[in-house]
A and B are shown apart, each in its own frame.
Chain A
Amino acid sequence: MSDPVTREEIFDANFLERLRTLVLRLRKRRALMRRGMQSTPATGHTREFKDYRRYTANDDFRAIDWRLYARLEKLFVRLYEDVQELHVHIVVDTSGSMARPFPEKRRQALRFAVALAYLGLSGQHRVSLYSMNETTRQDLAPLRGQGNIEKVISAVTRWNFEGFTDLEKSFTDFRPNRQRFGAIFVISDFFGREVGTAVEAVNRAAGWPGEVHFVQVVHPWEISPDLDGEVELADVETGEKRRFWISKREVKQYTQLFESFTENLSHACASRRINFFRCTSDEPFEDRFLELLTQGSAMAGA
């Protein structure tokens, strides 16, 4: 069992400040993007102008654009954007492999989780938080409002990263609300019991409502291990031990296997319209977070 993570380990003093800056950057970017990219056909009562329409008898006369009338001598009403409220589901893998032997993975995953939660909360969306190992558990009821970010932070710092990952059961047990359009983020290393388990689990995720994002967090050592000679490897999740003779040839073979695994998972996700995003624990969080959101998420317009 891994030690509970402290707030200071994940978030330094400026983390929230940087998050706010990040959100502003996102909004600015959204403003520069083409209209209609993330909006619905419906109009609403926002401050965002959308379009003109001819005045009808049922329309509110306060919406008439008199300047346009002066020009055209015809009556038109102004239409405004109506953004739907999203339900952001954040599912974080809390199995032992996310915290040991590389605690950097846990930190990176939790940063993604908190950042997504903050983005959702600050965009007036509902945010739900889940933990996943042998199964999926909802650790927080849907929250709204930016002020609830502390509850999110408290919840994630209480997590114990232990147990093994059962992707199939976890994905089966996860049933998001279908009443609202959702954005589902699964943050994990996707190391199941077998190499093909993750690909099979993607099928389960294909039926989830809304946009689905898989965020794979790995450590550079897991991509290309630094091993040589006789070693005894111990699986931190199952406790299984095995002895190997490792040479450069075996390391190369391993790396090829890992890349193949990731590629297969990526292809499986693509075939199910699931966005697959890989991030290593040593990469700068902010840049990678922005990159995630600009891959076509509704969250980017929040």
Chain B
Amino acid sequence: MHFLHPSQLQWLWLALLPVALWLFRRKAKRVPVSTLLFFRSLAREHQESAWLRRLKRWLALLLTLLVLGLVTLALARPYRSGGDDVPKSLVVLLDRSASMAAVDSKGHSRLDEAKSLLRDRLKSLPENVICSLVIYDAKPQVAQSRSTNRRELLRLLDQTQPSPVEDHPDEAMAVAQRLAALDAPCQIWHASDRALIMEKGKQKADKSSPYRFLNVALEKPLNIGITGFQIRPAPLARNRFEAFVEVSAAAANEKTVEATLEARLDGRPVQLRQMELKPGASVRLILPLEGGRGQHLEMETRCAGDVLGWDNVAAAPLPELKPLVVAWFADSPDPFVELALSSLLAEDRIQVLKGGAKDFPPKEKPDVYVFENWLPKDWPTDRPAIVLNPPSSVGPIHAKKLDRAVPYESTRAVLPEHPLLYRVASSRVALTQTTVLNVSDTLETLWMAGQEPVLAAGEAGGQRLVVTAFVPSKSEQLALLSAFPLMIGNAIYWCAENNESLASLKPRRPGDLVPMEPGIVKWRAWDGSKFYDISEESRSGWFEPRHIGIFEGAHGKADASLLLSAHESDVPAKPAPEASSSGSERGAERWASGGSWRNELLWLAFGLLLLESWLFHRLAVY
């Protein structure tokens, strides 16, 4: 027998006390009396014979010594070792990411399954094995570090709950391996629905830190979820928004599934779509919405048998519209440019400040610069810029004015999917090139007229740029088409995409740090099946959302926290058990079959105490 705390065996000396008491016990006093007449009537007379009395005395001493011995042994925590290759330590790596909330037909989540599996294994583990617990989602958390306190470990396991966060197991594995290296030989038990993909050349676990994967994935999962979501104000439309939704089906789905997508504004259904999704496929939808500032949009997918509820909802407040400030500096402004910019003004989403060269730089910084026929000497790098018909090269703009404009009857869209060309009918555009552009590596040509780039866009040094090489007034059809105003509008929105004023939705992810004034944060949270209201407190200037849904801070600004993870929505299936792995698993089970004698010893001591009470104290004297 091995002991976890052999120093506790020193308490065995306490056994000397009952032995001493027994040896020096007070013998029955012999008292001569003149008569036994009146004593005979008393009830507490010993009727036993002397030999039985002696035997009982020995038995009482033996029982007392046994109880003392058993309790001392229990304190010393004896354990039985299960066999060979008992590791010195163990690191339990537990996945609590969003996919671990997938439930089976009985309502047990994958995390519940993992906890149950780990609990059973840990209980049969020898008591002397040093255990660590690392729980991870996006970040690893060392819940218990190198301790033999099994009860605490089980308690921490019990209180672990899944979180709607995408997992990053590599970081967690790195932490686990560091812990394992401290007490070799060590094993790492990884409980998750997805095995860790080892790097090539490291397929087998390190000898000093053998890796055991406890797969808790469902055998036949079925899941669809929202993996992409965006809201933006519809260009050139008032109180209109466009919601971009991507719905994906897990690759492990057995067959094509039918799903519905419902859009609700403030709880009122406004859109409904039905779709069929093959395993591993995605469907992207753009839903037009009409709504006002402050309204809450909820998009919910429904599919029979869906195992993961967290990815079924995307909820967000409709973006608040703040007009973009566009500073337009022009030398000889083109009237069609003015017309295009004026059309944007009607929507109250863009504010145009007009000025000339002498007005640059402006007192208040705009959101987007528009330079027409002119470039400042000191190129501004702090704001995106739209350069129309640059006369020369300045900063990242490389252009040269043509002496004679070149008309083209048509233009070719090189990148028709570019946001700048959204809803722009490029094929119908005829224009006149007035500048030659030298499109650098950082800019992409969007329109080609002949062999010349006439429209380019891109980022240079973090600054978004759009450059045109034509003049609308000199182009035959361009001025008559909506293509130019649309393109200008798209260019402005694209340039200001990262600007808060654009007021497109920027959903947060659970686990992100959001700047938040201290105060109460109110949630309209989604628990996987329904919405509920909850409040929590933000103490510092930062807030970490831990739910899915819409949250509003003390300052009244609403924001959204969404899962939007293709990785988590792709709920894996448990592969069929392989014959080759059974040997190693049996090996793992074999050494884990040790256990503790402590409980048995304590129960035995308790039983002996009951026996002693029944034998010697049931006929109590007092």
Which residues does A use to contact B, with CB under 8 Å? 96-98, 100-102, 105, 189, 191-192, 194-195, 219, 222, 225, 227, 229-238, 240-247, 250, 253-254, 257-258, 261
Contacts and interface: CB of A to CB of B under 8 A. Distances in A.
List the 7 closest A-B pairs by CB distance, nearest first.
Answer: A97-B34, A245-B44, A191-B35, A243-B46, A101-B32, A230-B28, A257-B38
Nearest to A244: B45
Contact of B36 (A96, A102, A192, A233): A233
B34 A244 contact: no
Contacts of B26: 229-230
Nearest to A235: B36
A23 B42 CA distance: 45
B45 A231 contact: no
A234 B33 contact: yes
B31 A231 contact: yes
Nearest to B34: A97
Contacts of B39: 233, 242, 244, 254
B40 to A, nearest CB: 8
A243 B52 CA distance: 14
Please report whether the interface of chain A is mostly helix, strand, loop or mixed according to DSSP: mixed
B42 A232 contact: no
A101 B30 CA distance: 12
Contacts of A257: 38, 41
B616 to A, nearest CB: 13
B621 interface: yes
A243 B33 contact: no
B532 interface: no
B24 interface: no
Contacts of B622: 247
A254 B36 contact: no
Given A245-B621, A247-B622, A229 B29 contact: yes
Which of B32, B34, B45 is packed against the most chain A CB atoms within 10 Å? B34
A195 B33 contact: no
Contacts of B32: 100-101, 233-234, 236
Nearest to A238: B36
Contacts of A246: 42, 44
Nearest to A165: B35
Interface in B25-83: 26, 28-42, 44-46
A236 B33 CA distance: 6
A220 B30 CA distance: 19
Interface residues of B, number: 21
B34 A236 contact: yes
Please report whether the interface of chain B is mostly helix, strand, loop or mixed according to DSSP: loop
Given A244-B39, A247-B621, A222 B45 contact: no
A237 B35 CA distance: 7
A240 B36 contact: yes
Nearest to B35: A191
A157 to B, nearest CB: 21
A225 B37 CA distance: 13
A235 B33 CA distance: 5
Given A105-B34, A242-B45, 16 more contacts: A96-B34, A189-B34, A189-B35, A191-B35, A222-B33, A229-B29, A231-B29, A231-B31, A233-B33, A235-B34, A238-B36, A241-B30, A243-B28, A243-B45, A250-B44, A253-B41
A254 B46 contact: no
A6 to B, nearest CB: 22
Contacts of B33: 101, 222, 225, 233-236
Given A243-B46, A254-B42, A232 B34 contact: no
Nearest to A230: B28
A233 B29 CA distance: 8
A86 B614 CA distance: 68
A97 B36 CA distance: 11
B44 A258 contact: no
Contacts of B38: 195, 254, 257-258, 261
A138 B32 CA distance: 30
B33 to A, nearest CB: 5
Contacts of B46: 242-245
Nearest to B36: A235
Nearest to A255: B38
B39 to A, nearest CB: 6
Interface in B164-182: none
A258 B36 CA distance: 11
